[in-house]
Amino acid sequence: MCEQVVARASDPFAIGRLWGVIEGLERYGLGGWGWGAVWTTTDGRLAAHRDPRAFRDDPATGDLAAVEATALLVHLRRPSRLSTIGLADTQPFIDPAGRFAFSHNGDLRDYRAMRRQYQEAGRIVGRADSEVGQRWLEDHWADDDDATLALAAMHDRFSGQANLMALSADGAAHIYAGNTENPIFTYRLGPIGIASTGIYSLDRSLFSFVVHDAQQRRVVRPGHGVTLGVDGAPHAPARELRVVG
């Protein structure tokens, strides 16, 4: 079971400020089989770093710590099938058009038929179900304030235990909680608003082991989603999430 975290703040922050959170999620969760980060740049683009090694084993984290951004998405991988370990399936994925980055944990149950279609179109590089979700989202992304609806529609389309996160190029962070085995929490660390998975624990142990000083702690109920606003505060979607894709 992968872990993932997304963060946003009004002012730029050094992304290494959250390395302690990332280390804790990997240590107490089930990650360690690849990791990746996507962040916003000052000119409105998304930049990325991905490595099939564990976060703790990647020497690039030292240099990356000084990078400043107003939004950050990190995925810590523990694949359901270890045969999929490799850079091609390391998340987050970035939309070829640069509109968003996407990450997922759990499983997209009904992905095989769509995978065959994307393979025939030459759009599949890796072997895991998450890439199928990425291709689907590329075709259904909406450039508006309701991108969380697209994540909910993806879950309706593929089903399964799946937490979904997407980071827009403008810094908006969209979260959909669809994995009842790994809850998503929102909270704050100073000026930074955060949403993260819960170290594969069906309680609030995230706050005991990883983020002791977190404020404004909330759980995102399964079947619901939030978007982190400019100041990092979580906001519910403007419309009902249950859209059949």
| Residue 144 exposure: Cα atoms within 13 Å on the Cβ side | 8
Cα–Cα distance measured from residue 142 to residue 137, given in angstroms and rounded to the nearest whole number: 9
pLDDT tens profile 146-185: 789 999 999 999 999 999 999 999 999 999 999 999 999 9
pLDDT tens profile 74-117: 999 987 777 778 888 899 999 999 999 999 999 999 999 999 99
Cα–Cα distance measured from residue 67 to residue 80, given in angstroms and rounded to the nearest whole number: 31
pTM comes to 0.94
**Residue 142, pLDDT score:** 76
| Beta strand segments in the chain, E | 3-14, 35-40, 46-51, 68-76, 93-94, 100-106, 162-168, 173-177, 184-189, 192-197, 215-220, 224-228, 234-235
| Range in 7-21, 43-57, 81-95, 179-193 with the lowest mean pLDDT | 81-95
Within its chain, how far is the Cα of 141 from the centroid?
Answer: 16
In whole numbers, what is the pLDDT of the chain averaged over residues? Answer: 92
**Residue 155, pLDDT score:** 95
**Residue 118, pLDDT score:** 95
Cα–Cα distance measured from residue 62 to residue 71, given in angstroms and rounded to the nearest whole number: 19
